[in-house]
Chains A and B, each alone.
Chain A
Amino acid sequence: MLTEKYITGNCTISKGAVSKNGLTVFENNTPVNAFLLAVYQHLQLNYPKFYKMDNLSKLGWLAAELLLKDGFDKEAYQPEEVGVILANANSSLDDDLKYFDSIKNTASPSLFVYTLPNIVTGEICIRNHFKGEQAFFIQDTFDADFIAKQVNYLLNNNILQACICGWADVIDQEYKAVLFLVEKQKKETSVAFSAENMETIFKKDQV
């Protein structure tokens, strides 16, 4: 049941920089709120719901937008064949704390509806009409082995044909998203799907 799997694209948003497949596409050294808006504007996206999202959803959603831009053939898949497997360390705490602050005056419904970490996976799926398996895990640090095991299981058993996986984490001014597109067909820029290759790409912003 083992099938060949490739990372056919990757996208990193971290430390004021946005990169796709290892190439920096945008830099802007502003605080997180302004930065995420600048990325949205730079990508010339038109999705009014973006403005309602919490920072975790904005971060993950933007990374997915860039990841799937140019090169992802959505038509090649049924909605049920594409899944999303993400993880982070801080859950939805960034929004939880803002919501907790809002309780002192009037509890904010718009902050409340983002007080779950897996809302970001929902936002990505709604945008792209993905209806495959999805999961969101909380881990101390990016556990590439664990993510690889999850994705391998889903693709080897033909539960999915493609999967977005990776990391999306934000707390206050600290943020980092690294998303991988995993498919069964090889592309020019693709590398084999493995924990090691994810790990290498994940650490690139640290050099």
Chain B
Amino acid sequence: MGAVAAETAPLLEMRSISKTYPGVTALSRVDFSVMPGEVHALVGENGAGKSTLMKILAGADAKDAGRILIGGSEVHIDSPQEAMRLGVSIIYQEFNLVPYMNAAENIFLGREPAGAVPGVIDFRKMYADAEAIIAELGVALDVRAPINTLSVAQQQMVEIAKATSRKSRIIAMDEPSATLTEHELENLFALIRRLKAEGVSIIYISHRLEEIFEIADRVTVLRDGELVATKNITDTDRDDIIKMMVGRELCPTLMRESTASPAEQASAASVGKGEIAIEVVGLNRAGVLRDISFCVRRGEILGIAGLVGAGRTEVARAIFGADPIDSGEIRIYGKPVKIRSPRHAISLGIGLVPEDRKALGLVLGMAVRENISLANLGVLSRLGFVSRRREREVARKFVEDIMIKTPSVEQAVQNLSGGTQQKVVLAKWLFTESKVLIFDEPTRGIDVGAKAEIHQLMNRLAENGVAVIMISSELPEVLAMSDRILVMHEGEIAGELSREEATQERIMHLATGGQ
């Protein structure tokens, strides 16, 4: 397939693109080209410049230098409208859909077919056209259903339909698989292959390298805003790509030490490992959770696996006091507690690294320093007055300890990359010295390097006697990190697997409702 690239002229050429943000060089003379009908994967750690490059292509951000050619002639993409006119569509991780409008209205937003009376929408034509587009994509979807009643995968299909209905020749997808189940991912791939057959070029951004080998023709690797290489997928392998991304060798896959030496066991005992830290008995929430019971010991990492929507996040939120429960008991170190609010949960030594760090984990406009101290301002304050000096010291210590890549602790977290932001969230809970720490999708959308560091940190926490609960949709992560694995299915615990008996197949079997 790589041969396609060699013969025809490129459909899109981005030449020597540069972009600087205050304090950060986002792109430095990057070349990137896409052939007609090619699936071109774009990979790199967070902060490598992928998103910036795509924003420039989509007209959402202006380049400082460089040229863009489409079909051989130079274009000036100065707005998203211009990009669309040139046949470039981008599907962001956060969709651009109006939640209360239906699929057809979203597809034709801003260019609704006119009826007999000028300015009045021809609804019949709009629905017919929308249905035709959806049918052409080969997906099952009610075009009259409001967006907020559709699943994430269906919403993504609407985004793709929006792009194809505009006769887009280049569709860029930013982390399209992040929230999809295996089955939905298969559907997406089938759709991509169909689009490709029609000559549409796809730019596929993903952290999941397995997917790239399944779907891409070529891959371009960026690192720190610079082009590392563009290769045919057949000329490279996983380790090669990872090496290019991080610029250093990584230990293949991180595995937790399960066989501890007697000395280690002794030290484990000294930090109180093995004592039950949290026990959940018969947790119920109507329509969401049913009879959830489990316990986590100090020094243990409990993995919770399951499909999206199985109730994993809801368990975390219930324990953390973020959502009310109907019945059930939670015991912390054997003591029954009624957790009323996140505030109360934190005072009991529970921490939550939430699934959506931007919406739930961080105050984006605030500085790194302020985000780290937010959950534990009490210890930095006297009579309600915050000691900025001590706060800065604490923040600096964490920036150094867990290598938070920021120019200063005063940097607003919105200017940092995803992996770095996640470390800020982590620092917040490290500072509160949580005894029970819940990680909800801790490495989603995070680059390989930062991912490994976060895994190491979780291990370190467990070694220090913290009880860790880790929710993850990535099976290799669940298998590598967990001492025990709970599998959830439709709000219930479908089964529990020990580290030894767990395999991807067994987890998927339980997660999909098998016995």
- Pairing of A with B: no
Interface residues of A (CB under 8 A from B): none
Which residues of B are in contact with A by a Cβ distance under 8 Å? none
